[in-house]
Amino acid sequence: MTGKIFVLNNNEELTELEPSQYSSEDLFQRLIEKHPEILAGDQITPENPRKWLFISSEMGVPAEQDGGSQWYLDHLFVDQDAIPTFIEVKRSTDTRIRREVVAQMLDYAANAVKYWPLDILQKSYTENFSEVNSLAAIGIALENEDAFWETVIVNLRAGRVRLIFAADLIPIELQRIIEYLNSQMRDTEVLGLEIKQFLSTDGLTTLVPSLVGKNASVLSNKRSDNKRMDEQTFLKKAEQTSGADVSVICEKLLRFFESLGCDMWWGRGEAASFIPGFGKTWHQFVAVFNTSRNTLFSLQFQYLKEPFNTDDYKQKMKAGFEKIPGVQIPEDKLSKRPSFPVELIVSDTSYDIFIGVIKSFIEDLIAFEGEK
């Protein structure tokens, strides 16, 4: 590090601060955890600065489904658009910062997007919850919290994540790798973040974050894919992915949900979902989302609220959906979010069965809310 910075107080007294290395990687990591503002959210998207929800430090990453932790990511955050953000921290004196850190990060990302279950992310967030580290603090309203978490898992499974290499100094070798990855990875944003430390003799510390290796045109193209989904875009994507019949069914469902007075949550990005909210207090039990290969229903058993979150009620819904030819819901998915292709309800008979399950839920919900 080179160069000094100077602080001028109200009495025009000058304090000189010298560049200084972090005394330990643990200290560096704690600063990021305690003060996520230094993650340069205003530099990542100046038009809409990132707000950070801290999920966990030393976040375990499995190498197989339901496996134990094989690796540990330094920090996991989620921003206000439900984009999981992986952070790996290294000091410039650590020789692993040249190339080894890249392999580490790609290991974490490749396995996390496939094997992290949503309940683990939510549990980790709950353990680190505080007034300043909450969904409300990043602008997520209470009635939208379930839909927000659903978007987190959709983004994760689609590989729509952000990878940040944080250091006091990013070497040129790492900068070139970051630039290359950013130009080649369509859904994943890759950033280098220098957070330089300056100390004065009287104990004043100044932290100066700056992005490194940022290609404005590449990042702009990535973010254009992360705009809030709308009906026209969603239906066009459904047609491209699953065919005209599925797009027609999705539009038909949207009109049906509107007829019930549902509020609609639209996620972000190519794989984003739309989720109808039922009743006075936002009950959700189905989401529809596009992946790169298919358009799917996601049954929201994990998010069912009282009095619908019982095993008996879930079994009732399972039995109803399984009347649709081709739909099978494993017993171990009744506490999760099982999915099946929208194309299975293209026929009039299957569509009517699907709608019948929804109508039954609405009748039960109206009866419940009328009794409250």
> What are 286-328's pLDDT values in tens digits?
999 887 788 999 998 988 888 999 999 999 999 999 999 999 9
- Check pLDDT > 60 for residue 367: yes
**Which of 39-53, 138-152, 208-222, 319-333 has the least mean pLDDT?**
208-222
- Check pLDDT > 90 for residue 267: no
Q: How far is it, in rounded angstroms, from Cα 33 to Cα 133?
A: 10
Q: What share of the chain is helix, strand, coil (3-state, %, to 5)?
A: 45, 25, 30
For the chain, how far is it from start to end, CA to CA, in angstroms? Answer: 64
Average pLDDT of every residue of the chain: 89
Domain ranges of the chain: 5-224, 231-371
Specify the pTM: 0.66
- Check pLDDT > 60 for residue 152: yes
Considering 4-13, 67-76, 144-153, 230-239, the range whose residues carry the highest mean pLDDT is 67-76
Q: Which helix (H) or strand (E) holds 254?
A: helix 244-259
- Check pLDDT > 80 for residue 269: no
- Check pLDDT > 70 for residue 272: no
In the chain, what percentage of residues exceed pLDDT 90?
64
The better pLDDT of the pair 347, 158 is held by 347
Strand order in the sheet with 295-299: 263-266, 273-277, 286-290, 295-299, 339-341
Q: How far is it, in rounded angstroms, from Cα 66 to Cα 59?
A: 15
Instruction: Report pLDDT for 230.
Output: 85
- Match 């739909």 to its residue by tokens: 327
Q: How far is it, in rounded angstroms, from Cα 52 to Cα 139?
A: 10
Query: Among the residues of 282-347, which ranges form H helices?
Result: 311-321
For residue 140, give the 3-state DSSP assignment: coil
Using pLDDT thresholds of 50, 70 and 90, give the confidence band for residue 217. Answer: very low
- Check pLDDT > 60 for residue 219: no
The mean pLDDT value for 269-274 works out to 67
What ranges make up the beta strands (E) of the chain?
5-8, 14-20, 52-62, 69-79, 84-90, 162-167, 189-199, 205-212, 263-266, 273-277, 286-290, 295-299, 339-341
**Which of 46-55, 257-266, 268-277 has the least mean pLDDT?**
268-277
Q: How far is CA 66 from CA 36, 61, 86, 157, in A?
A: 30, 10, 20, 15
- Check pLDDT > 80 for residue 222: no
- Check pLDDT > 50 for residue 257: yes
The mean pLDDT value for 18-24 works out to 93
Q: How far is it, in rounded angstroms, from Cα 114 to Cα 5?
A: 44
Q: What are phi and psi of 285, to 5 degrees?
A: -140, 5
- Burial of 345 from C-beta contacts in 10 A (0-12 / 13-18 / 19+): buried
The mean pLDDT value for 340-362 works out to 96
- Check pLDDT > 50 for residue 65: yes
Instruction: Report pLDDT for 216.
Output: 46
